[in-house]
Structure 1
Amino acid sequence: MTAIHPSDTQIFARRTVPHRSLDRRGFHRLLMVFAAFSFCVTLPFVIMGAWPVAGFMGVDVLIFYFAFRANFRAANAYEDVTLTPVLLHIERVSHRGKRHEWRLNPLWVRLERQEDEDFGLEHIALVTRGRRIEVAIWLGPEAREQYANELARALAEAKRGPRYN
């Protein structure tokens, strides 16, 4: 059995994803309601002989569907931040799968906060040697505040070094 070396112990590990207020089941319900409403509005026009309106209303339903589909595809993006006593690893993956990675020494990293008195904490950035990497970009102000506090505590612990017991 292999013991985990203290320098490999994770101090902080978080994944953030874009917020979506509507899940797929809710979307299907919304789409059905929208399609039924569109059908009810179109029916009198078809009865009166203005049948091309049905095509335009059908296009509206298709545009509605494809817009939400693109929205759900964008929800595949994520950001992972992992901190050990010797490494701060940031990995950001776009909804298209494009990956950006940063590997930083936590001893040289400073947490920078940008706050607005009306809106709260707006931006969190990790600054090191002239580079500024914004993290927790998808979180709201309250969640971002909690994230920043936890990350600041974890960075302070990482700067103390690994614990050998």
Structure 2
Amino acid sequence: MSVALDLTLTPNRSFAPDHVRWVLGGVGLIFFLGGLRFLALGAWPILPFMALDVGLLWWAFRASYASGRGHERLVLADDRLELLRVTPRGDERRFGFEPLWTRVMLEETALGDVKLWLAMRGRRVRLGHFLSPGERREVGALVSAVLADYRAGKPSTSSMV
């Protein structure tokens, strides 16, 4: 089995897990010190809301990292291009394409966003929706180049005698 392309796309995360601990610890420390001040002033009802803020911040980072477990894997091997999409919950969905007929489409929106599609015979599948527009352009160029190389090495059915 010859593999011409094996590309795994993963969502970007803003912080490394160690940095999240530092941010939560720093915010918690600032809120604790501020809470002591409010307590000294007799404004104790503010304390539960400050604790709730730190808890919600922790939950938001946790949800962000949970959503980052999803990914997409694009493999061109032998005579098949396959896209495996894994959701953050672990559900898998596979899309198969014939590499000779597959086109890579970049769709520019009016707001400057870019949508990347794999298209074949009237069917389109979006690729890398979680990537930045620049990353989608890079992935589109890479996949287009690999498909062009693949087509150059394969005889076309229209040129067969």
TM-score, scaled relative to structure 1: 0.85
What is the CA–CA distance in structure 2 between the aligned matches of 1:99 and 1:48, rounded to whole Å? 55
Is there any run of 5+ residues in structure 1 with no aligned partner, and where? 1-7
Give the number of aligned pairs: 155
Q: Kindly indicate whether the alpha-carbon contact (under 8 Å) linking 2:11 and 2:131 is maintained by their aligned counterparts in 1.
A: yes
In structure 1, how many angstroms separate the alpha carbons of the residues matched to 2:142 and 2:3? 13
SS at match of 2:83: strand
Give the deviation of 1:139 after TM superposition.
2.2
Q: Deviations over 1:107-161 (max 9, x none)?
A: 2211111135873x70111111221001122222222222111111111222234
Structure 2 unaligned residues grouped into runs of 5+: 156-161
- Which residue is 1:19 aligned to? 12
- List per-residue Cα deviations over 1:6-38 (Å, max 9, x = no partner): xx2111111111111211011000001110111
For the residue of structure 2 that corresponds to 1:97, the secondary structure is: coil
Percent identity (aligned): 27
* Aligned residue number for residue 125 of structure 2: 133
- Give the partner amino acid of 2:134: E
**1:123 and 2:115 matched:** yes
Please give the alpha-carbon distance, in whole angstroms, between the structure 1 residues aligned to 2:144 and 2:110. Answer: 21
Pairwise CA RMSD: 1.9
CA contact (8 A) 2:105 2:117 kept: yes
Specify which of 142, 146, 156 is matched with residue 148 of structure 2.
156
* Bigger shift: residues 107-116 or 59-68: 107-116
Q: How is 1:1-165 mapped onto 2 (pairs within 5 angstroms)? A: 8-115=1-108, 119=112, 122-161=114-153
Q: For 1:107, what is the secondary structure of its paired residue? A: coil
Deviations 1:81-100 (A, max 9, x none): 01124000100111111211
TM-superposed deviation, 1:58: 0.7
**Whose RCO is larger (CA < 8 A, sep 6+)?**
1
